[in-house]
């Protein structure tokens, strides 16, 4: 009942897009693209931010269109819109029962959140979701440290010494970065003693650019400096030289004034290729915490808390333990899919007035179950594993030494960095002791040529790949 032909088609189009651009690009730009509707020759899609919209239009418009045309040749136009921050959780495809909308649950719109929100909005902050609080954040092995650090920041009082600055949290898509950052914002603002401002990198950019245009850049900077905690989400989207200069300036001003800065991004500071070295090192100078993938136990806990939240409005909604266990095991990808799964079960059981069963769950969430994501491999891991294999040190690999026993391992490591990560040649060069991209290219070609002839080397390379992927 919940899968219309339109929805099936949309799933296939997304599948094509994912294959065509690769998993990383897909999750960066398209994971939050939704289908709004199809009308004769045109398809309406939406994304949550203006920035995503302009980026997709500038770089992927053709690609998106051709993926649609592969499924529906009559489509000739894609209309991309920005949807508002507060929108129904149940995807458009499902005829959304009014009760399951993403609107704040009444008990969450408590006396505390309303003034926080008003204050925060007045400062020009990005929209906050009232559900993303510490109370609803489930702590597990992969996020214990990030959670503790975030709590510490949120509980700080004006004038307290700042323990780690900035607090930099990185993790893949859907692992709870935004949830944690917004929790800090809600909690930090609730005492009304401190001002915590939550901005997406996009908002920072547009806010600043807009302020420049109206010549109130100074006022904007002053406003930023008047806050106690600056929270910036999705820093990887910060683009443009002047924005970065401004960001760097703001960061320094805040940190030097003893104000707290909290940042989230999808990668560690060292991998933020477009930022310049000074900013990168400033970012790395505080506490950098990674949140790992959600373990099964954590996924189970998140599902449980989602069901409990849903039950506040739908007292009859019950999800048997065996279904939770199944979902926690089957959906390995990210928190958004967990949320989606519960929403579907809720919508389904409401629409059909039927209890949730394992069979129904298997059917409803089948498209959320994806093969295990390939592990994200880091350049440091490659250097470490290669160094160990060839019995040289990692600093040998980064050094300028040109003796044969170092040159070959170094080339192998660069080759692996190019084939197993999405890093660009200049970036790889930089990470190998500041080498030129042509040196990296040379190494890659060299090893490519050798593995096709030299079976011993080719086996060695395969074994290194296996060690890295396990
Ligand atoms: P990110 O910003 O890292 O992409 P989000 O914070 O948007 O991820 O999380 C995606 C979804 O998963 C949200 O619905 C969020 O509430 C949920 N989620 C992720 N981690 C947790 C957690 N530890 N506890 C509760 N919910 C979580
Ligand atoms: Mg996020």
Average pLDDT of the segment spanning 205-209? 72
For residue 263, what are the β-bridge partners?
168, 232
Q: Provide the pLDDT for residue 353.
A: 85
What are the φ and ψ backbone dihedral angles of 197, each rounded to 5 degrees? Answer: -115, 125
Q: Please state the rounded mean pLDDT for residues 417-442.
A: 92
For residue 12, the CA-to-ligand 1 centroid distance in Å is 25
* 406 has a pLDDT exceeding 70: yes
Q: Looking at ligand 1, which atom is closest to the CA of residue 335? A: 12
In a domain, 127, yes or no: no
Answer yes or no: do 195 and 257 share one domain.
yes
The residue whose two tokens read 């607090």 is 167
Is 37 within a domain?
yes
Same domain, 337 and 225: no
> Considering 347, 368, 389, which residue would you say is the last residue of a domain?
368
Are residues 290 and 324 in contact, defined by beta-carbon separation less than 8 angstroms? no
In a shared domain, residues 301 and 352: yes
Domain count, the chain: 4
Residue 321 and residue 283 in one domain: no
Lowest average pLDDT, out of 1-5, 100-104, 326-330, 354-358, goes to 100-104
pLDDT at 111 over 80: no
Give one word for 169, left, alpha or beta, with left for phi > 0 and alpha for psi -120 to 50.
Answer: beta
Q: Is residue 126 a part of any domain in this protein? A: no
Map residue 417 onto helix, strand or coil: helix
Token pair, residue 332, equals 């390995």
CATH code of residue 429 = 1.10.1750.10
DSSP 192: S
Q: In what order do the strands lie in the sheet with 77-82?
A: 34-39, 42-47, 77-82
Segments in 96-240 forming alpha helices (H): 113-122, 144-155, 177-190, 201-213, 217-225
Separation of alpha carbons 366 and 355, rounded Å: 18
201, part of any domain: yes
pLDDT of residue 357: 93
Within a domain: 261: yes
Q: State the Cα–Cα distance between residues 379 and 373, nearest whole angstrom.
A: 18
Average pLDDT value over all residues in the chain: 84
Q: Residue 77 sits in a domain of what CATH number?
A: 3.30.300.180
Q: Does the CB atom of residue 300 touch ligand 1 within 6 A?
A: no
**Residue 193: how many CA atoms within 13 Å on its side-chain side?**
10
165 and 285 inside one domain: yes
Q: Assess whether the C-beta atom of 49 lies below 6 angstroms from ligand 1.
A: no
Under the banding of pLDDT at 50, 70 and 90, the label for residue 257 is confident
Same-domain status, 285 and 270: yes
Q: Which of the residue ranges 4-8, 127-131, 133-137, 366-370 has the most confident prediction, judged by mean pLDDT?
A: 133-137
Is the residue at 449 inside a domain? Answer: yes
**Are 343 and 393 members of one domain?**
no
| Residue bearing the CA closest to ligand 1, atom 9 | 176
Distance (Å, rounded) from C-alpha 133 to C-alpha 263? 17
* 279 and 310, same domain (yes or no): no
The fraction of the chain above a pLDDT of 90, given in percent, is: 44
**pLDDT for the residue numbered 112:** 52
For ligand 1, say whether the CB of 286 is within 6 Å of any of its atoms: no
Distance set, CA 411 to CA 326, 398, 455 (Å): 45, 11, 17
Q: What is the pLDDT, as a whole number, of residue 444?
A: 95
CATH code (residue 212): 3.40.50.300
Looking at the fold, whether 250 and 153 belong to one and the same domain comes out as: yes
Q: Read off the pLDDT band of 48 (50, 70, 90).
A: confident
Q: Measured in angstroms, how far is the CA atom of residue 398 from the centroid of ligand 1?
A: 37
CA angle (15, 51, 338) in 5-degree steps: 45
Residue 158: predicted pLDDT: 80
* Whether pLDDT at 203 is above 80: yes
Integer Cα distance of 32 and 244 in angstroms: 25
Do 169 and 266 have their domain in common?
Answer: yes
Say yes or no to pLDDT of 308 above 80.
Answer: yes
pLDDT at 454 exceeding the cut of 50:
yes
> Does the CB atom of residue 336 touch ligand 1 within 6 A?
yes
Check residue 319 and give its pLDDT: 95
pLDDT reading at 133 higher than 80: yes
Q: State whether residue 185 is helix, strand or coil.
A: helix
Which residue among 143, 171, 179, 291 has the greatest number of ligand 1 atoms within 8 angstroms of its CB, and so is best to mutate?
179
User: DSSP labels for 361-390?
Assistant: HHHHTGGG--PPPPPPPPHHHHHHHHHHHH
pLDDT, one tens digit per residue, over 357-378 is 999 999 888 888 765 555 678 8
| Residue 134 in this model has a pLDDT that exceeds 70 | yes
Half-sphere exposure of 46 (CA within 13 A, CB side): 13
Between residues 440 and 213, the one the model is more confident about: 440
Indicate whether 74 and 163 sit together in one domain. no
Q: What would the DSSP string read from start to end of 301-339? A: HHHHHHHHHHHTT-TT----HHHHHHHHHH--S-HHHHH
Lowest mean per-residue pLDDT among 195-199, 239-243, 392-396: 239-243
Distance from residue 187's CA to the centre of ligand 1 (Å): 17
**Domain range enclosing 80:** 4-109
Least confident stretch, 141-155, 246-260, 341-355, 452-466: 246-260
Ligand 1: nearest atom to the Cα of 234: 2
CA dihedral 348, 353, 358, 360 (to 10 degrees): -50
Instruction: Give yes or no: residues 326 and 406 share one domain.
Output: no
Q: How far is the CA of 177 from the centre of ligand 1 (A)?
A: 7
In a domain, 122, yes or no: no
Local structure of residue 276 (DSSP, 8 states): -
DSSP result, 51-94? HHHHHHHHHHHHHHHHHHHHH-TT--EEEEEEPPSS--SS-TTS
């Amino acid at each position: 009942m919940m899968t219309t032909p339109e929805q099936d088609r949309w799933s296939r189009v997304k599948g094509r897009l994912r294959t065509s651009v690769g998993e990383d690009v897909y999750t960066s730009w398209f994971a939050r693209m939704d289908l709004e509707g199809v009308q004769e020759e045109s398809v309406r899609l939406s994304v949550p931010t203006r920035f995503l919209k302009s980026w997709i239009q500038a770089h992927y418009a053709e690609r998106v269109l051709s993926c649609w045309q592969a499924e529906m040749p009559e489509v000739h136009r894609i209309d991309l819109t920005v949807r508002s921050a507060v929108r129904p959780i149940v995807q458009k495809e499902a005829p959304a029962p009014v009760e399951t909308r993403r609107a704040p649950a009444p008990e969450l719109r408590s006396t505390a959140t309303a003034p926080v929100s008003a204050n925060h909005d007045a400062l020009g902050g990005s929209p906050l979701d009232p559900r993303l609080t510490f109370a609803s954040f489930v702590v597990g092995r992969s996020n214990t440290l990030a959670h503790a650090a975030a709590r510490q920041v949120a509980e700080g009082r004006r004038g307290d010494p700042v323990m780690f600055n900035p607090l930099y949290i990185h993790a893949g898509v859907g692992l709870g970065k935004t949830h944690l950052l917004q929790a800090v914002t809600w909690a930090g603002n609730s005492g009304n003693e401190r001002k915590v401002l939550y901005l997406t990198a996009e908002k920072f950019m547009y806010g600043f650019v807009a302020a420049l245009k109206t010549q109130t850049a100074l006022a904007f900077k002053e406003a930023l400096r008047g806050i106690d905690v600056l929270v910036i989400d999705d820093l990887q989207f910060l683009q443009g030289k002047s924005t970065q200069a401004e960001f760097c300036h703001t960061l320094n001003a805040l940190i030097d004034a003893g104000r707290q800065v909290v940042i989230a991004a999808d990668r560690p500071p060292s991998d933020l290729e477009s930022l310049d070295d000074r900013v990168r090192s400033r970012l790395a100078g505080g506490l950098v915490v990674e949140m790992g993938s959600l373990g099964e136990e954590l996924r189970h806990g998140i599902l449980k808390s989602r069901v409990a939240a849903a039950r506040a409005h739908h007292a009859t909604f019950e999800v048997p333990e065996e279904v939770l266990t199944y979902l926690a095991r089957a959906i390995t990808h990210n928190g958004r899919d967990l949320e989606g799964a519960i929403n579907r079960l809720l919508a389904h059981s409401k629409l059909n007035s039927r209890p949730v069963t394992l069979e129904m769950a298997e059917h409803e969430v089948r498209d959320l179950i994806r093969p295990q994501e390939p592990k994200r491999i880091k350049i440091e891991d490659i250097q470490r594993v290669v160094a160990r294999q060839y019995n040289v040190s990692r600093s040998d690999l980064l050094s300028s030494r040109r003796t044969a026993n170092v040159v070959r391992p170094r080339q192998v490591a660069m080759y692996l960095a190019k084939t197993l990560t999405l890093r660009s040649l200049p970036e790889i060069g930089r990470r190998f002791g500041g080498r030129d991209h042509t040196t990296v290219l040379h190494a890659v070609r060299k090893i490519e040529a050798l593995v096709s002839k030299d079976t011993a080397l080719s086996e060695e390379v395969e074994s290194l790949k296996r060690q890295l992927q396990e």
